């Protein structure tokens, strides 16, 4: 997998600045106050830093962003970046500064003088997250990024704070790699193998093959994958870091490794993006990796349904009726509304086997959520205000956009079928809500539940603050925070 860049913390050594190779960076407050490192660099560059921060240009620099000084006099470094950042920045400001530094750094070594500025660990997370590139299928030899060194007043203290954040960065990178992979590489077999490899981190991993799924009567899930040569699977990942035998939090992910729409074929334009239709499963995998790496003191189980939705001689047809593991029958009106069929069986299995304290499912489920919320927010649906509020608080704290959407009987009524217990779609209007209503039919009354429709946020066409265009890894940070704040002992 793509590895985060190496970041280390060291005591501030002003005498080393003149000979530092690669690139240098300093932090200056928005009102132009310089710390000892900035003043030393100002002397070495014969007043270049002071000229910058005293100019009109500095007043226009946004917090967390910076200005470069190229090939500065008096330094070995090829460039210096002066970052505008308060001494006590917010989490968002600190991470944005780190992201700015990642773009400035490129593949060069970076030395940042952070002094006694607060939230330097958060800055390092922003640096790590933004310094991502997916190059697995480039024939040109990829440059190995040089490390970053951050000089601070208390390096051991900051390093300890940053350590679990680097576990998060690795979890996010794992998710991004999975979502960015093409479907001829990330088959259901390959996906399952990558998850099984996480046993090395202390996760318990089981792979349920299609014959086992048939014995479990997962007719909804199996119907989706029956047109593909790739076998359908369910992968179960358990992290038992909490009290022995305490019920876990369950995370359930949709893992459609490619979605043609099946017989209800999608238009050709943009179909290549359907490699990301396993985004929900990718997020669950990334969260489980992060929990294991940081040794979370909680019990969490991650379950993903891995299928490929293809047309073919054995493909599911519109009008077919399938029987779910729960026992309910489903009239398949549209074979492109397949993710909810996968989730229905995996969610029921998760509740039936693990009796979770709560359940969160994630899926790139509907285009309708993009119409409603664009690419800024995931849609949040829930049957439990306390769990939902806890997640929304976690998402806000981590800067991951999330917006609660309604549920209600009128939406549920749109799923009535003439020949089965329900239809898998409820019409064009309120499409993301009726999809959530479908899923709620597979949630037991006593199980607190959240459905996250991440179709608009899992992969994007332009850069974000903390990610280049493509897979974002949205949800890993928020769900890890949910676990930390609400389920760790």
Q: Indicate left, alpha or beta for 412 from its phi (over 0: left) and psi (-120 to 50: alpha).
A: alpha
Determine whether 181 is exposed, middle or buried from the number of CB atoms within 10 Å of its CB (0-12, 13-18, 19+): buried
Q: Which of 130, 340, 414, 423 is catalytic?
A: 340
CA dihedral 285, 181, 467, 277 (to 10 degrees): -70
Determine whether 244 is exposed, middle or buried from the number of CB atoms within 10 Å of its CB (0-12, 13-18, 19+): exposed
- Nearest CA-CA partner of 363 in 218, 205, 199, 179: 179
* Residue 254: band (very low, low, confident or very high) from pLDDT cuts 50, 70, 90: very high
pLDDT in tens, 166-214: 999 999 999 999 999 999 999 999 999 999 999 999 999 999 999 999 9
Active site residue 266: yes
Dist. CA 153–CA 114, nearest whole Å: 8
The pTM is what?
Answer: 0.98
Residue 133 confidence (pLDDT): 96
Determine whether 172 is exposed, middle or buried from the number of CB atoms within 10 Å of its CB (0-12, 13-18, 19+): buried
* Residue 473: band (very low, low, confident or very high) from pLDDT cuts 50, 70, 90: very high
φ and ψ at residue 20, rounded to 5 degrees: -65, 130
| Token couple for 275 | 């490699």
φ and ψ at residue 73, rounded to 5 degrees: -65, 140
153's CB contacts (< 8 A; 6+ apart) are: 12, 115, 116
Instruction: Return the half-sphere exposure (C-beta side, CA atoms, 13 A cut-off) of residue 391.
Output: 29
| Token couple for 334 | 């549209």
Average pLDDT over residues 284-308: 99
What is the helix, strand, coil percentage profile of the chain, to 5? 40, 20, 40
pLDDT in tens, 128-176: 999 999 999 999 987 889 999 999 999 999 999 999 999 999 999 999 9
φ and ψ at residue 213, rounded to 5 degrees: -65, -35
Residue 114 confidence (pLDDT): 98
Q: Are 188 and 233 in contact (CB under 8 A)?
A: yes
| Token couple for 300 | 């969490």
Active site residue 233: no
Specify the 3-state DSSP secondary structure of 73. Answer: coil
Q: Are 478 and 466 in contact (CB under 8 A)?
A: no
Q: Which residues pair with 380 in a beta bridge?
A: 404, 452
Specify the 3-state DSSP secondary structure of 247. Answer: coil
Measured in residues, the chain has a length of 489
Dist. CA 147–CA 166, nearest whole Å: 14
pLDDT in tens, 82-133: 999 999 999 999 999 999 999 999 999 999 999 999 999 999 999 999 999 9
Dist. CA 474–CA 461, nearest whole Å: 14
Dist. CA 281–CA 207, nearest whole Å: 14
Residue 379 confidence (pLDDT): 98
Q: Which of 266, 297, 404, 444 is catalytic?
A: 266
- Nearest CA-CA partner of 146 in 201, 66, 78: 78
One DSSP character per residue, 300-354 reads: EEEEEEEEEE--STT---TT-EEE-TTS-EEE-S-TT--HHHHHHHHHHHHHHHH
């Amino acid at each position: 997998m793509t590895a985060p860049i190496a970041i280390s913390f060291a005591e501030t050594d002003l005498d080393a600045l003149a000979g530092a190779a690669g690139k240098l960076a300093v932090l200056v407050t928005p009102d132009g106050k310089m710390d000892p490192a900035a003043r030393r660099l100002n002397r070495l560059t014969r007043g270049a830093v002071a000229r910058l921060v005293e100019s009109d240009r500095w007043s226009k620099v946004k917090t967390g962003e910076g200005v470069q000084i190229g090939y500065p006099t008096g330094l070995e470094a090829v460039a210096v970046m002066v970052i505008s950042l308060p001494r006590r920045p917010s989490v968002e400001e600190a991470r944005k500064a780190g992201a700015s530094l990642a773009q400035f750094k490129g593949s060069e070594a970076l030395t940042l003088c952070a002094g006694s500025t607060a939230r330097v660990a958060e800055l390092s997370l922003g640096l790590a997250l933004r310094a991502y590139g997916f190059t697995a299928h480039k024939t040109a030899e990829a440059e190995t990024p040089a490390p970053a060194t951050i000089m601070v007043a208390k390096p051991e203290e900051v390093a300890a704070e940053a350590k679990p954040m680097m576990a998060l960065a690795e979890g996010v990178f794992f998710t991004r790699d999975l979502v960015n992979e093409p479907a001829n590489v990330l088959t259901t077999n390959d996906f399952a193998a990558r998850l099984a490899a996480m046993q090395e981190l202390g996760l318990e991993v089981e792979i349920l093959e299609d014959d086992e799924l048939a014995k479990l009567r997962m007719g909804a899930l199996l119907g989706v994958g029956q047109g593909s040569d790739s076998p359908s699977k369910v992968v179960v990942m358990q992290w038992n870091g909490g009290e022995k035998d305490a019920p876990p939090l369950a995370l359930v992910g949709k893992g459609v490794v490619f979605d043609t729409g099946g017989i209800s074929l999608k238009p050709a334009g943009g179909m290549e993006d359907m490699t990301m239709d396993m985004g929900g499963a990718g997020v669950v995998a990334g969260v489980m990796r992060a929990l294991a790496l940081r040794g979370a003191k909680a019990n969490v189980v991650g379950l993903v349904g891995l299928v490929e939705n293809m047309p073919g001689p054995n493909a599911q047809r519109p009008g077919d009726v399938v029987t779910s593991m729960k026992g309910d029958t489903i009239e398949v009106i549209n074979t492109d509304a397949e993710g909810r069929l996968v989730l229905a069986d995996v969610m029921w299995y998760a509740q039936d086997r693990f009796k979770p304290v709560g359940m969160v499912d994630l899926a790139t489920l509907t285009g309708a959520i993009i119409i409603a919320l664009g690419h800024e927010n995931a849609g949040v649906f829930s049957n439990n205000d306390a769990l939902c509020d806890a997640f929304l608080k976690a998402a806000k704290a981590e800067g991951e956009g999330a917006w609660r959407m309604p549920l209600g009987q009128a939406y549920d009524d749109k799923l009535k079928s003439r020949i089965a217990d329900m239809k898998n779609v409820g019409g064009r209007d309120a499409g993301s809500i009726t999809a959530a209503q479908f899923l709620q039919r597979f949630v037991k009354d006593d199980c607190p539940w959240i459905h996250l429709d991440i179709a608009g946020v899992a992969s994007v066409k332009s850069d974000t603050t903390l990610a280049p265009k493509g897979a974002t890894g949205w949800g890993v940070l928020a769900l890890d925070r949910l676990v930390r704040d609400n389920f760790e002992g």
